[in-house]
Chain A
Amino acid sequence: MLTYITFGIFILAFVLIVFEVFDKSLIALSGALLMVLLNVLTPEEAIEAIEFETILLLLGMMVLVNISAKSGIFEWLNVKIAALTKGNPLAIFLLFSFVTALFSAFLDNVTTVILIVPLTIVLVKGMGKDPKPYIFGEIIFSNIGGALTLIGDPPNIIIGGATGYNFLDFLMNLWMPILGSMIFTALVFVLVYWKKLRPISDNLSELCVANVIIKKLRYKFLNTVLHKDFIITVLSILVLTLTGFVLQGVLGIPTYVIAFAAAVLLAILTTRRVKVHESFESVEWTTLFFFSGLFIMVAGVEQTGILEQLSHFVAGTTTNIFYLALIVLWVSGLASMILDNIPFVTVMIPVIMGIQTQLGPEAAVLWWALSLGACLGGNGTLIGASANVVSADLAKKSGVRISFLEYMKFSLPLTLGVLVICSAYLFLKINVL
């Protein structure tokens, strides 16, 4: 009976999260609380179920990014990039898309699109052009870039927390399909939207309006006072943090300790410029509570043995690792198009752990299949990832309405193509590499 109740609570919470009936953190915490009150888990087991490594890594990165953003370094960089494009639409598209991917690999995707999308809209809309292809590009590249590193997207943080894979492991195992996906995506964009992205160097009127807007942006952003000492401190700490992540294996320091240490150090060094209570207030506490509640709920479901049975079932369907990897990739990819990929990955962790126990270390490739599917599948629809929803909101605020179908018409076939590229990579990884 308890099994059914537990499963019922989880399914109900999942549905409520999908349809956003309440704030998702509230739903996850309520589900977790119910599981404790119904004795599915003891309070001690519930606390143990929370992966504090993941929570602390997210917390550290949020504070680090928040303080860094206050230095104005990201806006400065964006305006410089805008100037580099010289108003060429294709250059604007390619440069901003690749910068989005790069930022997303190291910042969270939502922060990245908040930094880049408004500037792109001002630039492109001001030029009298349709900003939608550019916004679509930034959404898709933010999710692709986020999939590259341990800290780029929450599913990777969860996978890293559960498996112990470090920053370098993610980079080494994912750079190839990510690079392939980026090239493929850029090519598709250029082919589909050529009329909107073609160079304007033969039209003085269009060139002039573009250059006026770039100059306006420079005037507006670069007139804000940038403090050299603040920027140098931020850049030094960011470089140190990335070095720490890359050398994590050698240093033997967990990722969350590196992120947390960097955040605290930066907060101390910038006390004169940034009020620490403002930085702590800006932490997305709802996200952290959502994760905590989710970890407890999944632990409750795990207790019932359902997830173990599911892993047995999946492992029993075939012993061919490639087929299993394909199942994980495509199921997680398709699910992430409509479901929040965070709860999905949290549920999949014990399932893949179970499969790995049965099939041995060769099944480790399933983690990369899960990461690629969960992160890149989110591109399929406008509700597939937080960055998509936030970008659509930012666009709406600037008078650009993006409908669900309009986005999906382009993104769904593209995402399926990207998943095919990832499938090919998994085949190569298992059989050749």
Chain B
Amino acid sequence: MKAQIELYSNLLRELEMDIGTRDLTELFLEALALSIKNLKVNSPEAFLEQFRGLYEVVSNTEPKFGILNYQFARLANYSQDVVCKDKKCVKKWKHMVIKRLEQMIREERDKKVNIVKNAEKIEVDGKTILIHDHSHTVQDALVHYKNMGKKFKVIIAEQNFNKTHDNIERMHDAGIPFQVIPSYMLSHVHDQIDMVFFGAVTLKSTMNFVMSPGTHGIISEFHVIDVPVYMFIDTAKFSLWKSKKKVGVFMHKHERTHYNKPITYERIKYSHDRVPHKLFKKIVTNEGVFTPVALKKLFDEKMKKYSFEK
């Protein structure tokens, strides 16, 4: 079990960095549907045993992926409800579970639509927007504004090569005017930037967003100079369990050598940043647009209702 948890933790962490949490969820649910289709079991009980095993693994990954836990909890309830005793009905039953998964995938896609729809409440006409992480939700919102005929400009704060290029490709493909500036040179364009958009992996019970590395610095920087910072997040990404401080941020130490001198040194990288929700002006979700105070209320209500604490 421990090895499986580590395997899933690494895999999901890498995927989240590559394609973002939202696409990761959709990809995972599609893979799960395919796996259930190819799974050879003799009875629904045997399947439930396998499913519980997988649920146990996914709900114990580090970091925890709130949205996956949420979807697994829903599927677990459904699987138990529809379980049948007859061995012959396994095929039909598997089909029903897959159908349910397909419905969940469709819901995921609909949620994207809702976030984008709620993003319309943020006025961007004539503004210059800074983006940094490669949140596909933020990208979708920007493309939506463009399709609505809004006139705005994007500045991409340069960071990890792949993430920056992902942003560049998306802006280019949508025909959104953009410029790229290294993250550490943003102070030179403070007066040009009207608003800052970000996405997040999850929201912890500590009311900290878990976000791409480097975001805390930028958000603090713009908070200090009173430029509004907006968060775009699906409420299914909330981590509905009591979080411990610093859990979910991974440190990677490695040795590097100076490019032309025989000097080796230790280099440290971190997987995520944790950013207090208070630093954001508004949080745009599939359930509406919230102030930090209102978001805390929403989170607490959800925590009471759906807590996955085991």
Partners in one complex: yes
User: Measuring CB to CB, which residues of chain A are less than 8 angstroms from any residue of chain B?
Assistant: 86-87, 126, 128, 201-205, 207-216, 219-220
- Shortest A180–chain B CB gap in Å is 33
B35 within 8 A of A: yes
Could you list some 18 contacts between A and B, CB below 8 A? A87-B35, A128-B7, A201-B38, A201-B40, A202-B39, A202-B41, A203-B50, A204-B51, A204-B53, A205-B50, A211-B31, A211-B32, A211-B35, A212-B15, A214-B31, A216-B15, A219-B27, A220-B18
Q: Mark B20-37, 1 if CB is under 8 A from A, else 0.
A: 000100011011101110
- Shortest A355–chain B CB gap in Å is 55
B176 within 8 A of A: no
Pairs of residues from A and B, 10 with the lowest C-beta to C-beta distance, nearest first: A211-B31, A204-B50, A207-B35, A128-B7, A208-B35, A212-B31, A201-B40, A205-B54, A211-B34, A215-B27
Cβ–Cβ contact B27 & A128, under 8 A: no
Cα of A159 to Cα of B166 in the assembled complex, Å: 49
Given A126-B11, A207-B35, A215-B27, 4 more contacts at CB 8 Å?
Answer: A87-B38, A201-B40, A205-B57, A211-B32
Cα of A212 to Cα of B18 in the assembled complex, Å: 13
B3 within 8 A of A: yes
Q: Beyond A205-B50, A208-B31, A220-B18, is A213–B11 a contact (Cβ under 8 Å)?
A: yes
Cα of A34 to Cα of B298 in the assembled complex, Å: 84
B152 within 8 A of A: no
Q: Mark B40-63, 1 if CB is under 8 A from A, else 0.
A: 110000010011011001000000
B54 / chain A contacts, CB cutoff of 8 Å: 204-205, 208
B8 within 8 A of A: yes
B19 within 8 A of A: yes
- Shortest B24–chain A CB gap in Å is 9
- Shortest A119–chain B CB gap in Å is 16
B4 within 8 A of A: yes
Cα of A87 to Cα of B37 in the assembled complex, Å: 12
Shortest Cβ distance from A83 into B: residue: B34
Shortest Cβ distance from B39 into A: residue: A204
Cα of A214 to Cα of B18 in the assembled complex, Å: 14
Overall SS of chain A's interface: helix
Cβ–Cβ contact A219 & B19, under 8 A: yes
Cα of A213 to Cα of B15 in the assembled complex, Å: 9
Cβ–Cβ contact B18 & A208, under 8 A: no
A220 / chain B contacts, CB cutoff of 8 Å: 18
Which among B4, B19, B47, B53 is the interface contact of A128 at CB below 8 angstroms? B4
Shortest Cβ distance from A129 into B: residue: B7
Which residues of chain B (162-216) have a CB below 8 Å from chain A? none
Q: Beyond A126-B11, A216-B18, is A207–B27 a contact (Cβ under 8 Å)?
A: no
- Shortest A147–chain B CB gap in Å is 36
Cα of A128 to Cα of B3 in the assembled complex, Å: 8
Cα of A210 to Cα of B28 in the assembled complex, Å: 11
Cβ–Cβ contact A86 & B38, under 8 A: yes
- Shortest B58–chain A CB gap in Å is 9
Cβ–Cβ contact A212 & B51, under 8 A: no
B51 / chain A contacts, CB cutoff of 8 Å: 204
Shortest Cβ distance from A202 into B: residue: B40
Q: Mark B114-135, 1 if CB is under 8 A from A, else 0.
A: 0000000000000000000000
Cβ–Cβ contact B11 & A212, under 8 A: yes
A210 / chain B contacts, CB cutoff of 8 Å: 35
Cα of A369 to Cα of B19 in the assembled complex, Å: 52
Cβ–Cβ contact A215 & B31, under 8 A: yes
Cα of A214 to Cα of B28 in the assembled complex, Å: 11
Cβ–Cβ contact B27 & A212, under 8 A: yes
